[in-house]
Structure 1
Amino acid sequence: MEESTSMESFLIELVDTLEAILSAMTDHEKPVSYWKNITEQLDTLGWDKSAHLSEDLSRVQIELYDASKRKHDLTVSFPPGYPAVPLIVEPLEVPECDAGQRSLSQQVAAEALLLKNNPRLEAVIQQAEKQLEFFNEFWDVMQDIGENTWVIDPENPTRADRMRRCALGNHCSIQITIDPLSPRSIPDMRLFGPIASIEPMRTKLHQNAGRWDESKLPRKNLEVLLELPDGFPSPVSVTKDEMNIECGICYSFRFEGQIPDQLCSHSKCQQPFHRVCLYEVAK
């Protein structure tokens, strides 16, 4: 007050000082019950289950494993005011289901909402494990595709991605979109490539559709429908040069997030190009 030149400057200084004090109390001076509840939760969970724990114990990353031993990270935060304030749970990477086919996934989501106000870490983990069980077969299917085909899109798929575009050779590829609720049923499919090459494939898919066997993985079924005796091309069976999947202008596969989607119309060439690269050359 002695240093202030006016009452207005004094009040401004006072407000700033009080805001700083309140902020420090909010961030650091949490009640003993806050720390007690967190340590009790972590004791129940087992401290060894925490893959990462923040220095102030307010954020924990827990490693969960599905039935096929794939690792999933569950991140939970203890907000100020816990346990009166609910836990903050970052959602797991799970696929989105089509509209009109969400009854089962909605049931899982509804159970998650019921637990939203549950302050128990154990209950949150149990709900996350239900989600892992629910989508386990979907991830089995996607893992099989990833390990036994040459996936050209997406480049780094997440656990939520339902689509894979797989190389077939001769500048052809097939885009497969798997239904998370029925992962072994016939997926949505789209063929890409020169018309002369993909038309016979499209005919095979149509004529052999009755041979689809839901007891087999979709990748195996597609090899039957497309009549691929040696299976899909994969990094194990062919080299990148043999696939010839890079753009003939920029000599890269992915440019500005896009993959080559234009082919030379000459039957002896059929070099792939990015649409944007062709546009730049034409200018």
Structure 2
Amino acid sequence: MEFTEQTRCREMAKSSTFYRSVYSEIEEVGWEHLVKLGEDLTFLSFRILDKKGREHILEIQLKRTYPKCPPSISADVPYIFNLEWSMQSRLKNVIRQFQEHLEKLQEFWSILEDIDKSLWVDDMKASFATSYRQINIGNDSFIMLSINASDPRSLPEIRFLGSGPSVNVMRKTWQKNSKRWKKEKPFLENLASLLETHLPGPPDVLKRDQQVECGICYAQNLPIDDELGNKSGCGTDYTCDNTNCSRAFHSICLGDWLRSITTTRQSFNVLFGNCPYCSEPIAVKINSSKQ
């Protein structure tokens, strides 16, 4: 939080009991945690780290009758906690209860991270509030997993998307074996056991760059063309660093696309912009033969 925001809050604190109360309570929480402060101090946003270093944003809405009326809260979590409140409660109590809630969700997020790391998750944008994953099993077929955030080791809800014979077999196998799910076993082990098969892992772009389509031109290889120089006929050679995207591109195609975007910045021979699929920051070297 910039010093000017703290100064503004301090000045407002001189004018009313409400402002003085909010200012002193922010001091207790720590200004380093404050991300955003509304003009009238009724809206506050705090950055909180959980025990594994994940960053979470807690938004707090106050009424003018605060602290008689409890604040409204929202956060990037699959479900919000029931806030315990009394006339003696303060913002630090809200933060403490939020941290306790984050602790209860650690296993849930760990299971999702295992899924993202071990299976072929289809174009997911990372969100701590999301409790489902769409797993690509090939041939335009998918498994939609919905994990119970409050009981992540329990049997997940599952939907099979696709009409191929392999999907129908997998659906019948799951229905037959669903009662065999055991909470004490690791989630992915349970999944493989009930489906009686191991699901495909994430595409290894580095090993299969000749087989991965470019996310812009949708071709596996560039055309054979003298103007492309040493890139002529090459496969995809750039991958988005966002593990929940990992979309592959020809660097030439990506460079051409970035040049068409007005927000793209250039420093020497490097273009800085955003991935066309997940909007995460990307940096691409310009191919000299295309300049």
In 1, distance between residues paired with 2:39 and 2:27?
Answer: 16
Supply the distance in 2 between the matched residues of 1:123 and 1:191 (Cα, whole angstroms). Answer: 43
**1:177 paired residue number:** 146
Match of 2:131 among 155, 162, 169: 162
Pairing 1:40–2:24 present: yes
Structure 2 counterpart of 1:226: 195
Q: Contact 2:143–2:161 (CA<8 Å) still a contact in 1?
A: yes
Structure-1-length-normalised TM-score? 0.58
Structure 2 counterpart of 1:91: 74
Map 1:108-127 → 2, pairs under 5 A: 108-109=81-82, 112=83, 114-115=84-85, 119-127=89-97
Distance change (3 Å), C-alpha of 1:210 and 1:38: closer
Once residues 168 and 117 of structure 1 are traced to their aligned partners in structure 2, the CA distance between those partners, rounded to angstroms, is 54
Distance in 1 (CA, whole Å) between partners of 2:200 and 2:104 is 28
Long gaps (5+) in structure 1: 1-27, 97-104, 249-283
Query: C-alpha separation between the residues in 1 aligned to 2:69 and 2:16?
Result: 17
Note closer, same or farther for the CA distance 1:121–1:141 as it changes in structure 2 (3 Å cut).
Answer: same
The alignment's TM-score, normalised by the length of structure 2, stands at 0.56
| 1:69 shift after superposition | 2.6
Q: Would the aligned equivalents of 1:77 and 1:87 in 2 still touch at CA under 8 Å? A: no
Please identify the structure whose Cα radius of gyration is greater.
1
Which position in structure 2 is the counterpart of 1:73?
Answer: 57
* Structure 2 letter corresponding to 1:187: P
1:186 offset after TM fit, Å?
1.7
**Per-residue CA distance 1:67-116 (angstroms, 9 max, x = gap):** 33322111224444544x545333223335xxxxxxxx8xx52xx1x417
Alignment of 1:61 onto 2:45: yes
Q: Is the 8 A contact 2:119 2:201 kept in 1?
A: yes
Q: How far 1:42 sits from its partner (Å)?
A: 1.7
- For 1:22, the equivalent position in structure 2 comes to none
| Displacement after TM superposition at 1:29 (Å) | 10
| Pairing of 1:134-283 with structure 2 (within 5 A) | 134-152=104-122, 155-156=124-125, 158-206=127-175, 208-209=177-178, 212-229=181-198, 231-236=199-204
Give percent identity, aligned residues only.
Answer: 27
CA contact 2:43–2:59 (8 Å) conserved in 1: yes
Q: 2:45–2:57: 8 Å Cα contact kept in structure 1?
A: yes
Q: Number of residues paired by the alignment?
A: 204
Q: Which has the higher contact order (CA 8 A, sep 6+)?
A: 1
For 2:210 and 2:20, how far apart are their aligned partners in 1? 57
Contact 1:168 1:233 in 2 (8 A): no
Note if contact 1:86-1:119 (Cα within 8 Å) is conserved in structure 2.
no
DSSP-derived class of the 1:151 partner: coil
Q: CA 1:220 to 1:177, structure 2 compared with 1: closer, same or farther past 3 Å?
A: same
Alpha carbons 1:149, 1:232 under 8 Å: kept = yes
- In structure 1, C-alpha distance between the alignment counterparts of 2:86 and 2:204, rounded to whole Å: 46
Q: What residue identity is the alignment partner of 1:50?
A: L
Indicate the structure with greater helix content: 1
**Alpha-carbon deviations, 1:207-260, whole Å to 9, x = none?**
55465442343233223333445x4332446779669xxxx9xxxxxxxxxxxx
Q: Contact conserved, 2:44 with 2:60, CA < 8 A, in 1?
A: yes
**Relative to 1, partners in 2 of residues 1:234 and 1:40: Cα closer, same or farther, differing over 3 Å?**
same
Relative to structure 1, the CA distance from residue 232 to residue 135 in structure 2 (aligned partners, 3 Å threshold; closer, same or farther) is: same
User: Is 1:51 aligned to 2:21, yes or no?
Assistant: no
1:183 is paired with a residue of what secondary structure? coil
- For the 8 Å contact 1:64–1:71, the answer to whether it is kept is yes
Is the partner of 1:159 in helix, strand or coil?
coil
